[in-house]
Homo-oligomer: A and B are copies of this chain.
Amino acid sequence: MSTNDEVRTAIAALLRIGEPGDGLLRRLVDDIGPVAALAIITAVAGGQSSSDEAVAGLASNGTGATAGGAVAHGELGGAIERWSMRVDDEDGGGDLDKVARLGGRLIIHGDAEWPSMLDDLGPAAPLGLWVRGAAELGVVLTRAVAVVGARAASNYGTKCASDLAWDLASRGITVVSGGAFGIDAAAHRAAIAREAPTVAFMAGGVDRFYPAANADLFEQILATGAIVSETAPGMTPMRHRFLLRNRLIAASAQVSVIVEAGWRSGALNTARHALELSRQVAAFPGSVYSASSTGAHRLVREHEAELVTCCDDVVALIDDEAPTLFDTTGSGNAWAGSEGVDPVDDLDEREKICLNALSATKALDAGTAAARAGLTIADALSALSALDLAGLAERRDSGWVKLRKPQR
């Protein structure tokens, strides 16, 4: 009998109780729902039951965490203790009210506004997101690029970020960043100057503008864009929250562009998250004598980022310009030319899966394509040969690529 309001209130409370990216809490919620999860934690906090009893209850229940197999008993007992210590007088309803007074809301999975790309984070996906601002988050993130980089940006890097964000905004691509000084602020400001929505993911609560010196910027972001956080209102930005905030930036964007980053810049952490999600990472070049570019150069040198020099380069990395093959509306297949003959129709299922696993912009070796497609290497090679013959893919020196237009 959990109503939508009960669920939302429970998630609001759980966002205060858990830290961002708490996979154990997420799995408990997936298993028994947010309302039941919160009830167990508050019961332990109030002394109505011990954490051992709570775990035993879950085990005997048979439909809970033990049934799902996701939560190891020993681990869970300790986590419930930890969570219960953070249950304070203020409940989720209080946070909902507080954010509502600021014109904001909590969005949760199932809401129309929920940005589905965040589900790619799997068990690390947020339980919910606190959002302020005029933009509908799921809509503006449909086509988004992250522009991130050093706080201690050079004038050159600031100019690069500004030009890139302006050009992305001009093409209707939402600029996502972290609201920090330097590259982040330059990117947000340029998008706003272009009168486009931009999204800032915060490491602290959405009621706190951090850094405070960017308060004018955050006000402008609210007018057309969104300020988003998974931490509860009032919470302070802390190092681990920045690092976990970065996964939301990476997951929100189709490409994460590192404009300037020193050797150990936090922007490299965003790149790492993007790579783990198989999202595209790109980096801007700069002077080899600039410390602000060493991290960006390293990403390119180690083949973790594509070199980009302008918006066009970034857009070329957005795979999704090519509609997916399995677009059931049938309207989006770029290959179905005016002749009405679609070479894709001739493919068997394995070849279609393999074609879908390829990228038009990033060459993959046969092994990677096989892994992506879930095929054996032998099957992938046979499928790739068929795609080559059909003019739908080709092998270049750097690997296999999908062709945007079939070539026969």
Point out the residue from B285, B368, B377 that lies within 8 Å of A297, measured CB to CB. B285
Distance (whole angstroms) from the CB of A362 to the closest CB of chain B: 9
Q: Do A288 and B284 have beta carbons less than 8 Å apart?
A: yes
Given A285-B293, A288-B284, A288-B309, check contact A303 B156 (CB 8 Å): no
**Which of A234-242, A336-344, A391-399 is near enough to bind chain B?**
A391-399
Q: Which residue of chain B is the closest to A365 with respect to CB atoms?
A: B365
Given A297-B307, A301-B313, A313-B301, check contact A399 B287 (CB 8 Å): no
Q: Do A309 and B301 have beta carbons less than 8 Å apart?
A: yes
Given A286-B285, A301-B307, A307-B307, check contact A366 B365 (CB 8 Å): yes
A31 at the interface (CB under 8 A from B): no
Q: Do A368 and B397 have beta carbons less than 8 Å apart?
A: yes
Q: How far is the CA of A284 from the CA of B377 in the complex (A)?
A: 36
Q: Which residue of chain B is the closest to A397 with respect to CB atoms?
A: B368
Q: Do B288 and A398 have beta carbons less than 8 Å apart?
A: no
* B-chain residues with CB within 8 Å of residue A395 when the two chains form the complex: 365, 367
Q: Do A365 and B160 have beta carbons less than 8 Å apart?
A: no
Q: Which of A6-21 contact B (CB under 8 A)?
A: none
Copies, count:
2
Q: Which residue of chain B is the closest to A284 with respect to CB atoms?
A: B288
Chain A: residues with Cβ within 8 Å of the partner, total of 35
Q: Which of A129-161 contact B (CB under 8 A)?
A: 156, 159-160
Q: How far is the CA of A258 from the CA of B131 in the complex (A)?
A: 48
Q: Indicate with 1 or 0, residue by residue over A309-321, a CB within 8 angstroms of chain B CB atoms.
A: 1100100000000
* B-chain residues with CB within 8 Å of residue A368 when the two chains form the complex: 397
A300 at the interface (CB under 8 A from B): yes
Q: Do A303 and B363 have beta carbons less than 8 Å apart?
A: yes
Q: How far is the CA of A395 from the CA of B308 in the complex (A)?
A: 26
A381 at the interface (CB under 8 A from B): yes
A306 at the interface (CB under 8 A from B): yes
Distance (whole angstroms) from the CB of A257 to the closest CB of chain B: 12
Q: How far is the CA of A309 from the CA of B301 in the complex (A)?
A: 9
Given A365-B399, A368-B397, check contact A288 B300 (CB 8 Å): no
Q: Which residue of chain B is the closest to A259 with respect to CB atoms?
A: B288
Nearest 9 Cβ contacts at the A-B interface = A365-B365, A285-B285, A288-B309, A300-B307, A365-B399, A303-B398, A301-B307, A297-B309, A366-B366
